[in-house]
A and B are shown apart, each in its own frame.
Chain A
Amino acid sequence: MEKQTEGDIFLELLHNIQMTYGYIPEGEINRLAEKLDRPRAEIYGAIKFYSMFYTEPTGKYIIRVCDSLSCHLQDSHELLESLKSYLKLDDGETSPDQLFTLEVVECLGHCGEGPVMMVNDRMYTELTPGKALEILKECK
Chain B
Amino acid sequence: MVKEVEFLKGPELKNIEDYDFPGLHWALSLGPDKLIKEISEARLLGRGGAGFPTGTKWDLARQQKGDRKYFICNADEGEPGTYKDRYLMEQRPLKVLEGIIIGAYAVEANHGFIYIRGEYSRPIKIMKNIIEEAREAGVLGENIFDSGFDFNLRLVRGAGAYVCGDETALINSIEGKRGISRIKPPYPIQKGLFDQPTVVNNVESLACAAEILNKGAGEFASYGTENSRGTKLISLSGDVNYADIFEVEFGSCTLREIIEDLAGGVKGGREPKFVVPGGLSTAALTAEELDCKYSYEGIEEAGSSLGSGAIIVCRESRDLVDILLKVSRFYMDETCGTCFPCREGNRQINHMLTQHRNRTFSREEVELVEDIGEAIASAARCGLGQTSLSLISSIFDKFPHELIEEGVRT
> Which positions in A face B, CB cutoff 8 Å?
1, 4, 6, 9-12, 14-15, 36, 45-46, 49-53, 64, 67-70, 72-73, 105-114, 118, 121-123
Contact = CB atoms under 8 A, between A and B. Distances in A.
A67 B111 CA distance: 37
Contacts of B355: none
Contact of A111 (B174, B178, B180, B243): B243
Contacts of B235: 111-112
Contacts of A14: 159
Nearest to B86: A109
Contact of A68 (B80, B111, B157, B236): B80
Contacts, number: 135
Interface string B120-158: 111000000000000000000110000000101010111
Interface stretch (B23-31, B99-107, B325-333): B325-333
A11 B119 CA distance: 14
Contacts of B176: 9-11, 36, 46
B173 interface: yes
Contact of B120 (A9, A109, A111, A122): A109
A112 B154 contact: no
Contacts of B158: 11, 50, 52
Contacts of A11: 156-159, 173-174, 176
B243 A52 contact: no
A109 B238 contact: no
Given A50-B179, A52-B159, A69-B323, A6 B119 contact: no
Given A11-B176, A109-B78, A123-B121, A49 B157 contact: no
Interface string B243-266: 111000000000000000000000
Q: Which of B117, B121, B159 has the most CB of A within 10 A?
A: B159
B298 interface: no
A10 B175 contact: yes
Q: Which 9 pairs from chain A and chain B are nearest by CB?
A: A10-B176, A112-B243, A50-B159, A52-B160, A111-B237, A51-B160, A70-B237, A107-B80, A49-B178
Contact of B80 (A6, A64, A70): A70
B152 A4 contact: yes
Interface in B287-312: 310, 312
B400 interface: no
Interface of B: 77-83, 86, 110-111, 117-122, 141-142, 150, 152, 154, 156-162, 173-180, 235-239, 243-245, 276, 280, 310, 312, 314, 318, 322-323, 326-327, 330, 333-334, 336
17 contacts: A1-B141, A1-B142, A1-B150, A9-B154, A11-B156, A12-B156, A15-B157, A45-B178, A46-B176, A49-B336, A50-B179, A68-B280, A68-B330, A109-B78, A112-B83, A112-B235, A112-B244
Contacts of B160: 50-53, 105
- Is chain A's binding surface mostly helix, strand, loop or mixed? mixed
A46 B176 CA distance: 7
A110 B173 CA distance: 24
B80 A106 contact: yes
A109 to B, nearest CB: 5
A123 B154 CA distance: 24
A79 to B, nearest CB: 14
Q: Tell which of A6, A50, A106, A114 has the most Cβ of chain B within 10 Å.
A: A106
B156 A69 contact: no
A9 B78 contact: no
Nearest to B180: A49
A70 B334 CA distance: 17
A121 B152 CA distance: 27
B117 A109 contact: yes
- Residue of A6, A15, A69, A112 ringed by the most chain B CB atoms within 10 A: A69
Contact of A112 (B121, B179, B245, B330): B245
A70 B243 CA distance: 10
A109 B243 contact: no
A79 B374 CA distance: 36
Contact of A70 (B78, B81, B161): B81
A126 B134 CA distance: 34
B79 A107 contact: yes
A86 to B, nearest CB: 23
B310 to A, nearest CB: 7
B152 A1 contact: yes
A6, A9, A15, A122 pick with most chain B CB within 10 angstroms: A9
Contacts of A9: 154, 156, 174, 176
A123 B117 CA distance: 14
